[in-house]
Structure 1
Amino acid sequence: MKKSLYSRKKFLIYSFLFGLSFGYGLFLTSLYWINISLLYDIERYMLFLIPGIFLIPFILGIFYGIMTIIFSIYYPQNITRIFLVAIIWTLIEYIRIKITFFPWAQIGHSIIEIDQILQITSVFGEVSLNTISVIIFAFPILYITERNKNYKSKSLLFFVIFLFTIFIYGERKLSLDSDNRENTEIILIQPNINQKEKWDPKLFQSNKNKLINPTNKILNLPRKDTTSNRYFIWPETAIATLIDENPLLTYEVTKNFSKNDYLMLGSLRRENENIFNSFFIIDYNNIIIGKYDKNILVPFGEYIPFDKLFRKLSFLNISSVAGNFTPGSKSIEILNTLKNNPIVYICYEIVFSNKIQDGNSEKSFLLNITNDAWFGNSSGPYQHFNMSKIRPVELGMPLVRVANNGISGIINPFGKEILKSKLNTEFHKSILLPSRIEQTFYSKYGNIPFFCILLFSFMLIYYFNNQMSRNTASTKPNVK
């Protein structure tokens, strides 16, 4: 008995280590770009370099260790295990994101570029991509190893119907893409300011000109329609100053504005002792008519998790390394100041699903301003851009994305890239805003319907396998 318990415990440990190793390797290779950001100020961020390389992948890998433990405890020896794996994997990914606030490197992100499959997020959201991915990737090996020919043929039929249904829905939805545009002109300004030079006072004028010159260049061009709104959009923390305390800077632009012109930009903001990472809308009178304070802050970059604990560990001096920003309101602020109003996401807020609230049906587009200059010529900015493609499909609204050094662009409600800049280049472009489509199922109901489906599926799997066990037991001959 003791030997049996010992063997079982040893098996669970091996299962955990197997999953942990898989997760560690996955995150070590896919998130290497995090450490590139630390190299911009190596003396200041040296403390985080080793944890960034080893500790972050290890912590994230723990969730895969837990997943393989679950599989070692309950893993049906028939074709239903493919659905169990998909359900458990989806739930573990969801829990990982809720706990760590870091939704990178989900298995579902591997199929973002398949337009037909991406359309399913308008119904069930980003979380459904994880389930679909696991089924697609796991089916071949599980099909090959299945010994029961009856189950084999039925599972193959189900798999074909499953994929066929998703692709038919995707094709039908994509056929509705009529490329309609609003009477609103979007001007994207990508200054490509080097992160090391951004906060250098000696380079302030040069950096400012990278924003103001292309803006004024477009302002001096003849307008085809003087009645249309024009939104000049600068990136996150566009310039090293407090915009609301330095109106002369924005006046260099707004003095040339007509009545329908607006400047939208990111800037730091202070209120008493609090510092915010903010977004502003400024009109032709150089008056701030709308603002939003970033709510989801970057851990150890913009705030310190478990602040009280780290304060006790004063020898680490972490408070002097990480930013001390204050989060804004808990929901994405709705700005009701314009004809075509944006829902604003600053930096990596755009990668979080389920940012839904009453009033989305009245908004025209999603706006993501970001920096991304921290990550150099790595896969980080590309991952960030690709992940953001999910939001417009989920919510049925076009996404306007403006980055400091790239990648900027416009993505329509079907996930199609209407405009896309290159990384690490200066870029400015004027384009009409794509129209939104009708409110999606997901934007109305969120993740609840899909998780109900997962729960129902799990109950069916459990019931089916219980029945199988009983039938097997009843057919065994009694040996006396």
Structure 2
Amino acid sequence: MVIFMTSTLPVHGWRLAGLMVLAGAFAALSLPPVCALFTLPLGLLVLYRAAEDAASWKGAALYGFLFGMGFHTAGLYWLTNAILTRVHEFWWVVPFASPGVSLIIAPLIAVPAVLCRLVPAGWRRVLMFGGSWTAVDMGRVLIFSGFPWNPLGSDLEIPGRLGDVLIQPASVLGVDGLTLALVLASLAIFRGRKAALLVLAGALLWIGVGFWRLSALQPLPVTNPRAVLVQGNVPETEIIDHKQSVENFRRYVRMTAQGVQQARLMEDDRPSVVIWPESGFPGLLDEDDLARQIIAHAAGGAPAMIGSDREENNHWYNSLEVVDQDGKIAAIYDKSRLVPFGEYQPWILPFNVLPGVLTPGPGLKTWTMPDIGKVGPMVCYEIIFSGSVVAPHDRPDWLVTISNDAWYGNSAGPRQHLATGRMRAVEEGLPVVFANNTGISAFYDGAGRETARLGWGKTDVLVSDIPSPLPPTVFARYGRAIPLGLSIFCILLAFWPSRGQPRASVVMR
């Protein structure tokens, strides 16, 4: 197999450029929901060989960029669906949706393609490639409000028991540490029989650790509430034009009453909390006394967490608000991480394409409330940020994120979004409730195991007990410093002097 790491690619020029785009798109099949893991090592091998063969560092950078364009355009193809919901206004943006976002983040993949040429061929070059890939990929949180979507570590989120086992090391390494392990393993398997056997042994150890952790987990003695999650399944066109607002509100109220009644018929007397998704209330909840009274009556005394817009001093917020048994607002959380090009317009565009912009909230918080317990609220996009979903020094007992993925249709988008909630549960050791307008809604325990689900496009109520939290994980204590430190270690190790290694093998030109 080592021949694949040393032989020259059989194409050149524009054919090689096209191959890089195709290799990136092929590697994207390893992402959720497909999770075709075999495509990642094959795609990365093509990029690695092209980077080594390039006549100069500029050529290596170009190949990395083209690979990134293929990878991110394929992985984010569903962004086009969001434009199609308002195609009469933004028809001209349709061809640029996913390629446009890819154009911004694809250059990051050029970095490992260039830096690996700084060290001699062999193991040190593989270490440099893997370490620099992970380090710059972690840097995506610094682009605008951050865009860390689809890290390679999410490839291991295979549905079912196998995925549960494979993602357990994220409790120590985080998703970025999983990315580092996958990149190194993907290139190492082509370095000969011994290297392939080493990767196989590492994979078996990895799986063993996953099984051991799942069998050894001891939840904390905390009883979280029972959630009545309402998935109204309101089409995005109706949310935008407000023509069916009254009927949609009645639907949510009716389903809430049904769900609360269902919760009361369950065996114990655990307190309940009602959860509506992002855009669940079609107005300004904090300004509508009558609507809050109706919600409180339907909830039968249970607190209700409702997604709603909010306006204050000419600033608009995307919020999660708690309505108590008296119909009053008991708590408000304003979304603090906004979606670039969706909820605000980055400076990179000199012209306006958004009908309105939102204001970010002050940041993460933990609510401690009767019948709700200690909960960390989030809205939609915020769940994708590894290591940044829990308020500092105030750890909750469960996390809730409300979302509206109707924008993206029945595509990979909602499933990739859901996968981020599963990964955050493992990283933090906290149960996650993912409430989505059109689905997919789900409950995860602190090990990332799914305990309840409502599929895409279903109009229904999901009633389920929220699992107890686990003790804080290693990652919960130290966060992204762990994968970043490992990445830097790989980079430094790549520069470690080796006996008999000719300097001529360094090909930075």
Q: TM-score range by the shorter chain?
A: 0.7 to 0.9
Does structure 2 retain, via aligned residues, the 8 Å contact 1:366–1:397?
yes
Q: What residue is the counterpart of 2:215 in the other structure?
A: 175
Residue 237 and residue 412 in structure 1: after superposition, are their counterparts in 2 closer, same or farther (change >3 A)? same
2:387 is the counterpart of 1:354: yes
Does structure 1 retain, via aligned residues, the 8 Å contact 2:135–2:487?
no
1:254, distance to aligned residue in structure 2 (A): 0.9
d(CA) in 1 for partners of 2:65 and 2:175?
24
Q: What residue is the counterpart of 2:335 in the other structure?
A: 294
2:279 is the counterpart of 1:237: yes
d(CA) in 1 for partners of 2:375 and 2:408?
27
- Summarize the alignment of residues 25-174 of structure 1 with structure 2, pairs less than 5 Å apart: 25-71=70-116, 73-99=117-143, 101-113=146-158, 114-141=163-190, 143-144=191-192, 153=194, 155-156=195-196, 158-174=198-214
Tell me the SS of whatever aligns to 1:188. Answer: strand
Q: What residue is the counterpart of 1:333 in the other structure?
A: 365
Q: What residue is the counterpart of 1:404 in the other structure?
A: 437
TM-score calculated relative to the size of structure 1: 0.86
1:327, distance to aligned residue in structure 2 (A): 0.2
d(CA) in 1 for partners of 2:481 and 2:211?
25
1:227, distance to aligned residue in structure 2 (A): 4.7
Amino acid at match of 1:106: P
Does structure 2 retain, via aligned residues, the 8 Å contact 1:303–1:322?
no
1:322, distance to aligned residue in structure 2 (A): 4.5
Tell me the SS of whatever aligns to 1:240. Answer: coil
Q: What residue is the counterpart of 2:63 in the other structure?
A: 18
Amino acid at match of 1:127: D
| Cα distance per residue 1:17-53 (max 9 Å; x no partner) | 2111111111111111111111111132235334314
- Superposed CA RMSD in Å reads 2.5
1:293, distance to aligned residue in structure 2 (A): 0.3
Q: What residue is the counterpart of 1:476 in the other structure?
A: none
Deviates more, 1:112-121 or 1:369-378: 112-121
d(CA) in 2 for partners of 1:470 and 1:13?
23
Residue 258 and residue 424 in structure 1: after superposition, are their counterparts in 2 closer, same or farther (change >3 A)? closer
Deviates more, 1:131-140 or 1:9-18: 9-18
Q: What residue is the counterpart of 2:449 in the other structure?
A: 416
Percent identity at matched positions? 25
Q: What residue is the counterpart of 2:303 in the other structure?
A: 262
Amino acid at match of 2:129: V
Tell me the SS of whatever aligns to 2:181. Answer: helix
Tell me the SS of whatever aligns to 2:251. Answer: helix
1:225, distance to aligned residue in structure 2 (A): 6.3
Residue 458 and residue 10 in structure 1: after superposition, are their counterparts in 2 closer, same or farther (change >3 A)? closer
| Cα distance per residue 1:125-184 (max 9 Å; x no partner) | 11101111112322222x23xxxxxxx64x456434433432222111111357888352
Residue 377 and residue 183 in structure 1: after superposition, are their counterparts in 2 closer, same or farther (change >3 A)? closer
- Summarize the alignment of residues 310-389 of structure 1 with structure 2, pairs less than 5 Å apart: 313=350, 316-318=351-353, 321-329=354-362, 331-338=363-370, 340-355=373-388, 356-361=390-395, 363-389=396-422
1:405, distance to aligned residue in structure 2 (A): 0.1
Q: What residue is the counterpart of 1:252 in the other structure?
A: 294
Q: Any gaps of 5 or more consecutive residues in structure 1?
A: 1-7, 145-151, 474-480
Tell me the SS of whatever aligns to 1:342. Answer: strand
Does structure 2 retain, via aligned residues, the 8 Å contact 1:199–1:240?
no
d(CA) in 2 for partners of 1:81 and 1:159?
17
2:233 is the counterpart of 1:192: yes
Amino acid at match of 1:133: L
Does structure 1 retain, via aligned residues, the 8 Å contact 2:306–2:320?
yes
d(CA) in 1 for partners of 2:164 and 2:253?
37
| Cα distance per residue 1:207-259 (max 9 Å; x no partner) | 11221111111334444467522111000121220000012112113125455
1:445, distance to aligned residue in structure 2 (A): 1.0
d(CA) in 2 for partners of 1:441 and 1:178?
15
Deviates more, 1:185-194 or 1:100-109: 100-109
1:402, distance to aligned residue in structure 2 (A): 0.5
Tell me the SS of whatever aligns to 2:365. Answer: coil
| Cα distance per residue 1:422-465 (max 9 Å; x no partner) | 11111212111100010111111112233223333333332243
2:480 is the counterpart of 1:431: no
Q: What residue is the counterpart of 1:202 in the other structure?
A: 243
User: Which has the larger Rg?
Assistant: 1
Tell me the SS of whatever aligns to 2:279. Answer: coil
Amino acid at match of 2:157: I
Equivalent residue pairs, number: 444
Amino acid at match of 1:393: V
Tell me the SS of whatever aligns to 2:120. Answer: coil
